[in-house]
Chains A and B, each alone.
Chain A
Amino acid sequence: MTRFLLKFSKNAKRYLLASILCAGVAIFFNFLMPRIVGFTVDSVIGDAETNLPAFLERFYERLGGREYLRANLIVCSAGVVLSAVISGAFNFLSRSSLAAGTERFTKNLRDALYRHTQFLPFSWHTEHLTGDIIQRCTSDVETARRFISQQLIDVVRTVILVVLALVIMFSMHPGLAAMTLGFIPFIMAYNTFFFLRIARKFKECDETEGVLMTDVQENLTGVRVVRAFGRERHELKKFDKWNELFAKKWIDLGLTLGVYWGVGDVVSAIQLMSVVAVGAYLAATGRLTLGELLVFISYTTTMAWPVRQLGRTLSEMSKAGVSFGRMKEILDAPAEEPGGETEPPLRGDIEFKNVTFSYDDTEVLHDVSFTVKAGTTFGILGATGSGKSTITYLLNRLYELPEGCGEITIGGMDIRKMDRYALRRGVGLVLQEPFLFSRTILENIDLASRSGDRALIKKRAAAASIDGDIEGFSDGYDTMVGERGVTLSGGQKQRVAIARTLMTGAPIMVFDDSMSSLDMETDARIQKTIREETKDATVLLISHRISTLMRADKIIVLENGRVIESGTHWELLEHGGIYRRVYDIQTGGGEADA
């Protein structure tokens, strides 16, 4: 845990240290106030011997001694205000640098988590639940933040406070100081014990709340079922049951908490009372001055609350360990390694050689081999689950082909020897359900290309037949996508994604079922322009629609992870296999020609 903390507090450490130092100074001057009051009561108003450090004594004498102060009580008052101002100033500095330190730490942590999730392999993402990751990146970060900004500092501050108070108190009257000190372990133990004990009850309450929450949520998401079966009464009964239980659990906890608070108050007040009573006895018998008694009372009051909190803080600090562990799990997952050839020969032929690939234990590709000649258009026909998407994932190394499962080469170079990012930059991929970011449409199209060239963006949008739709939105190209803006239809998203990929001018373009939501005419029009826009690019078209594939230079048919037919459109029709049958169905019956 310490290593974890240090790693993310590189530029925050000195602020945290400064904060602690300033807190010490602030506490010191805060403790000076009661001393000034005590001194005034004893040696100015009263006639006790002054008992000041040498330099203060000299200053006191030069000022004119007791007589001067008696005539000018305002000087004592000014001393109180001055120490308050100094204490306040350092308090402010302490808090500001604490904030600067913890917020730096938090930013480091947040950025590191984000960066790491960006560079984790795609397979990691498919294996983990989004909600869980987000929770780790948000609430666990918050726990870590609180750990430093509140708990850790609170402990340090309380320790300084107690030590400083005790030093001063012991210098005045060791016996009374020892008595005051005697209460502290007891108070701390009581609080720690109690909090550990009710932590379980708290957890139970939280769990009941979770159940109630789930109940309401299920009722709301299932509202159509509830209504259709007329089950409102049943639902209300169920809700009442949980709602009552929830209230009951908390009220029960309230009883325990009440006792805890009450006893805590009593213990602290008894501590103060003992100081007052014993102190009064000591003062009455001349073993303590009145001023010192007032200092004791004041210090005891100041210490009471932080000491009570300390027990709670200590018991809560243990929770932070769990959060650190959960974050570490993300940060320790191995990220994708870049490395390899940064300028791979992407304009060469793409070759799949005996590729076999499995997810978990399910084989999705079996001994797949084919060659895509550079600059040609290549079609892959297959149904859902035939393994056609896996081909694209392997090609741009979203999934890594393990050793011994065949080889994928581009321009004769194994893609595993290429720099991952150079490869992906060179493979423009459009997916069936493309993801658009919640930015403007313009930014979405220019996302990978970063050209900032508005005219070019419009040209590519026109090539993807989406320009008309975009002009129709209220803010045109500057319309926001997503929650804060327009919701695009599946077909519109696909076309924006096509424009986005066209912008990159990648030497290899893969359209993975990316025209499925478009009608045949738009599909054909876009294909024509794509071919014109990307003259020398190698294009892979993946579809279950013959009309999308028929103009390709070569087509393969994929079924259950195997290549079962390959050839040109006409060759495949001649061959009379699955391709032919799909063609017949899609063109509406038996005619050979469309």
Chain B
Amino acid sequence: MRESTDHEGKLDLRLWLRLGPYVKKVRRPLIISIVLLAVSSLAEAAYPLFTSYAVNTFVVPGVTRGIGLFALVYALIILAGGVAVAFYSRSSMVVELTTGKLLKRACFVHLQELPISFYSTTPVGYLLSRVMSDTDRISSMISWGIIHMLWNLCYIIGAVVFMFLLKPSLAAILILVIPITAVITWIFEKKILVENRKMRAFNSMITGAYNEGITGAKASKTLVIEEDNCASFGVLTGKMYRASVRTAMLRGFLLPLILFCGSLAVAAVLKRGGHQVMVGGMDLGVMSAFISYAVGIIEPVVEIAGVITDIMAAQVCIERVTALLDEPCLIEDTAEVKEKYGDSFEPKTENWEPIRGDVTFDHVWFKYPDGGDWVLEDFSLHIPAGTTVAIVGETGAGKSTLVNLACRFYEPTEGRVLIDGRDSRERSQLWLHSSLGCVLQDPHLFSGTIAENIRYGRLEAEEEDVIRAARLVSADQVAARLPDGYKTEVGEGGDRLSTGEKQLISFARAMIADPPIFVLDEATSSIDTETEQLIQNAISRVLTGRTAFIIAHRLSTIRQADLIIVVDDGRIVEQGTHGELMAAGGAYAALYEAMRIKEEDEEVFDGR
């Protein structure tokens, strides 16, 4: 995925405007938040006024009457402020979580529509942090970023207004402190931001080093390089040490500077205000209020500068999330198709024609989206419904291309793929995909029970259907071996089962819907003999009566095929039946021989 890396100090408004639609949805709670925060911050800004009033009314003249009432009014204001805080916190939470929810959903929906090719070039971890953490950061900026900024802004405005009402000439001097503090904080925060980035880089290098140190433990031990590893790790943590201390010192310097600005303000009030009090131009109450403001106004300024740097930093997240949302869906149904057949989320199944499974490649030219040479050049092939096609070749030879095209996980660059005689683009993706039964090489199960996993193939299936499907492919033996039978939890990704067991479950999952088209990518990884036998039985049972594409690694499977396609280096080099191809003595014959040696070797050692 494209991604720009340089966004130092530039606020890109267009990016923020992209969030408009999401913010619109939370208009109400956002407005409530803003109104309430204004109440809260104005209340806080008014506290020094009470001090001022108390000094003028009670302390200086030495009067105590009315202090009770004064305290009551003061307390009411405090209470109002507290209630406002409680409620704006809540609505801000609503704003945060709702925008976050909407953003996550938008990403998720888009990810369901992106082509498979996108997934083969983008790591899942990368996508996961887009969907989860980036959206979280954006939504917290929209809510708390705005809240903090506005609260402090309101406070400053309120304080400035109150000060001008009390004594304009003194207020004018105090206001000077605001821009000075703002500029200083801003400069430092930007520096700190850069340092933080460096620290994060070091931090991920340290994590990487731990990872390498642990996964490479065997290599390190056999090479006896433990000490060297520790030394280079020490260098890395040394760098991290220096970067961290530098950042802390930057921060440590900013704070006293701000304190200094505050003391300048107090000093100014003392000098100018004190003088005025002495000559009788101002009373002590006003002066004490000013002293409170002089101290109190600094922090909001610092906060605002801090929030702005946060916003700048969060911009990267917006960039990444919008880049994901802008990622083109290379395979998309046309408007007419969607009109008739519905889309992936709202299908109109009533308009779906039944599918027989007759597949035709009609002058197909194909190259993968990330470039490279033609993989298919003017390829034509008719596969009548019910044919078993085995695709063989070395690892990485491009065996899955034909399957991907037939299933419309990819679309031909030129030419057509016909399903039951009609261009597959004339029907919706879901129409075709709903008629597929797929068993992949590394069979992915979802966390949940065995029964739930089998039911994934037909969501409305009854329990008997699940058991019948399992029995058909001998997956019932897997369930029988487990403590809770079909109710056994398989763990994340099916981790609690062996590869062979997972594959049997995925066979049952594919079979439960009785699909007219069946796709099988045989496992290459070693499976124990017993399970292997069960899988072989399953294969022969599921092939009858449907069109099947098998990416084959076992001789017994290959021999069962009606048509064998030999692929090498991304191209189809031979096609025909087993007999024809053996007679030809070409690539297939050589491949067959190599596979035979491997399998027989295994048999010899496996106790014959």
| A239 x B74 contact (CB < 8 A) | no
B58 contacts the other chain (CB 8 A): yes
Contact-residue bracket for chain B = 35 or more
Interface string of A72-98 (1 = CB under 8 A from B): 011011101101110111011011101
- Which residues of B sit under 8 angstroms from A284, Cβ to Cβ? 58-59, 61-64, 67
Task: Known contacts A45-B277, A95-B248, A232-B344; decide if A81 and B267 are in contact (CB<8 Å).
Answer: yes
Question: Could you say which of B160-168, B249-257, B535-543 contacts chain A?
Answer: B249-257
Interface string of A567-594 (1 = CB under 8 A from B): 0000000000010011001101000000
| A272 x B263 contact (CB < 8 A) | no
Interface string of B88-125 (1 = CB under 8 A from A): 11101110111011001100110111001001000010
Tell me, rounded to whole Å, the shortest Cβ–Cβ distance linking A368 to chain B: 17
Tell me, rounded to whole Å, the shortest Cβ–Cβ distance linking A233 to chain B: 5
Task: Known contacts A99-B252, A225-B440, A281-B58; decide if A134 and B222 are in contact (CB<8 Å).
Answer: no
Question: Could you say which of B332-340, B378-386, B581-589, B594-602 contacts chain A?
Answer: B594-602
| B67 x A281 contact (CB < 8 A) | yes
B569 contacts the other chain (CB 8 A): no
| A125 x B218 contact (CB < 8 A) | yes
A62 contacts the other chain (CB 8 A): no
- Which residues of A sit under 8 angstroms from B93, Cβ to Cβ? 250-251, 253-255, 257-258
Question: Could you say which of B174-182, B287-295, B308-316, B414-422 contacts chain A?
Answer: B287-295
| A107 x B240 contact (CB < 8 A) | yes
Max chain B C-beta neighbours (<10 A), residue from A117, A229, A273 = A229
| A265 x B81 contact (CB < 8 A) | yes
Task: Known contacts A77-B268, A87-B259, A224-B444; decide if A398 and B433 are in contact (CB<8 Å).
Answer: no
Q: Give residues of chain A (213-263) contacting chain B, Cβ–Cβ below 8 Å.
A: 213-214, 216-236, 239-240, 243-244, 246-248, 250-251, 253-255, 257-259, 261-263
Report the separation of the CA atoms of residues A77 and B266 in the bound assembly, to the nearest whole angstrom: 8
Q: Which residue of A lies closest to B296 (CB)?
A: A301
Task: Known contacts A220-B119, A228-B438, A277-B74; decide if A235 and B112 are in contact (CB<8 Å).
Answer: yes
Report the separation of the CA atoms of residues A227 and B88 in the bound assembly, to the nearest whole angstrom: 43
Contacting residue for A254 out of B83, B92, B278, B606, CB 8 A = B92
| A134 x B210 contact (CB < 8 A) | yes
| B252 x A91 contact (CB < 8 A) | yes
| B224 x A41 contact (CB < 8 A) | no
- Which residues of B sit under 8 angstroms from A239, Cβ to Cβ? 105, 108
Max chain A C-beta neighbours (<10 A), residue from B131, B432, B593, B605 = B605
Contacting residue for A44 out of B54, B112, B274, B347, CB 8 A = B274
- Which residues of B sit under 8 angstroms from A280, Cβ to Cβ? 54-55, 58-59, 67, 70
A283 contacts the other chain (CB 8 A): yes
- Which residues of A sit under 8 angstroms from B104, Cβ to Cβ? 243
- Which residues of A sit under 8 angstroms from B127, Cβ to Cβ? 220
| A214 x B259 contact (CB < 8 A) | no
Max chain B C-beta neighbours (<10 A), residue from A44, A209, A228, A244 = A228
Question: Could you say which of B14-22, B229-237, B462-470, B552-560 contacts chain A?
Answer: B229-237
Max chain A C-beta neighbours (<10 A), residue from B60, B98, B248 = B248
Question: Could you say which of B1-9, B187-195, B201-209, B357-365 contacts chain A?
Answer: B201-209
SS class of chain A's interface: helix, strand, loop or mixed?
helix
| B206 x A138 contact (CB < 8 A) | yes
- Which residues of B sit under 8 angstroms from A246, Cβ to Cβ? 97, 101
- Which residues of B sit under 8 angstroms from A106, Cβ to Cβ? 237, 241, 244
| A224 x B438 contact (CB < 8 A) | yes
- Which residues of A sit under 8 angstroms from B63, Cβ to Cβ? 284
| B249 x A95 contact (CB < 8 A) | yes
Question: Could you say which of A49-57, A355-363, A434-442 contacts chain B?
Answer: A434-442
B461 contacts the other chain (CB 8 A): no
Task: Known contacts A88-B257, A114-B210; decide if A448 and B601 are in contact (CB<8 Å).
Answer: no
| B218 x A40 contact (CB < 8 A) | no
| A230 x B429 contact (CB < 8 A) | yes
Tell me, rounded to whole Å, the shortest Cβ–Cβ distance linking B188 to chain A: 13
Task: Known contacts A96-B252, A117-B213, A258-B87; decide if A111 and B233 are in contact (CB<8 Å).
Answer: yes
Q: Which residue of B lies closest to A36 (CB)?
A: B270
Task: Known contacts A229-B438, A230-B344, A269-B78; decide if A95 and B255 are in contact (CB<8 Å).
Answer: yes
Q: Could you count the A-B residue pairs with CB atoms below 8 Å apart for me: how many are there?
A: 418
Tell me, rounded to whole Å, the shortest Cβ–Cβ distance linking B139 to chain A: 10
| A265 x B593 contact (CB < 8 A) | no
Contacting residue for A266 out of B70, B79, B257, CB 8 A = B79
| B71 x A228 contact (CB < 8 A) | no
- Which residues of B sit under 8 angstroms from A262, Cβ to Cβ? 82-87, 89
Tell me, rounded to whole Å, the shortest Cβ–Cβ distance linking B74 to chain A: 5
| A259 x B112 contact (CB < 8 A) | no
Q: Which residue of A lies closest to B291 (CB)?
A: A37
| B226 x A118 contact (CB < 8 A) | yes
B504 contacts the other chain (CB 8 A): no
Tell me, rounded to whole Å, the shortest Cβ–Cβ distance linking A109 to chain B: 9
Contacting residue for B219 out of A119, A281, A434, A581, CB 8 A = A434
Max chain B C-beta neighbours (<10 A), residue from A78, A107, A113, A118 = A118
Interface string of A392-436 (1 = CB under 8 A from B): 000010100000000000000000000001001101010100110
- Which residues of B sit under 8 angstroms from A213, Cβ to Cβ? 128, 132
B402 contacts the other chain (CB 8 A): no
- Which residues of A sit under 8 angstroms from B248, Cβ to Cβ? 95-96, 98-99, 103
Q: Which residue of A lies closest to B248 (CB)?
A: A99
Question: Could you say which of A192-200, A289-297, A310-318, A463-471 contacts chain B?
Answer: A289-297
Report the separation of the CA atoms of residues A283 and B54 in the bound assembly, to the nearest whole angstrom: 10
Question: Could you say which of A170-178, A320-328, A381-389 contacts chain B?
Answer: A381-389
Contacting residue for B256 out of A91, A448, A585, CB 8 A = A91
Task: Known contacts A214-B492, A383-B602, A586-B601; decide if A269 and B108 are in contact (CB<8 Å).
Answer: no
Please name 13 further chain A to chain B contacts, defined as beta carbons within 8 Å, in addition to the given A115-B226, A254-B97, sorted by A numbering: A80-B270, A95-B251, A95-B252, A117-B217, A134-B210, A216-B108, A228-B438, A243-B105, A277-B70, A284-B59, A383-B604, A424-B222, A435-B216
Closest 4 CB pairs of A and B: A254-B93, A88-B256, A84-B263, A262-B86
26 contacts between A and B (CB under 8 A): A91-B255, A96-B245, A103-B240, A114-B210, A114-B230, A125-B217, A226-B112, A230-B432, A234-B456, A246-B101, A247-B101, A250-B93, A258-B90, A273-B71, A273-B75, A276-B50, A279-B54, A283-B59, A293-B55, A294-B288, A383-B604, A398-B221, A421-B224, A435-B215, A448-B225, A500-B223
Question: Which B residues lie at the A interface, using CB under 8 A?
Answer: 40, 47, 50-51, 54-55, 58-64, 67, 70-71, 74-75, 78-79, 81-90, 92-94, 96-98, 100-101, 104-105, 108-109, 111-113, 116, 119, 124, 127-128, 131-132, 206-226, 228-230, 233-234, 237-238, 240-241, 244-245, 247-249, 251-253, 255-257, 259-260, 262-264, 266-268, 270-271, 274-275, 277-278, 284, 287-288, 291-292, 295-296, 344-347, 407, 409, 429-430, 432-434, 436, 438, 440, 444, 446-447, 456-457, 459, 492-493, 506, 509, 513, 519, 526, 593, 597, 600-602, 604-606
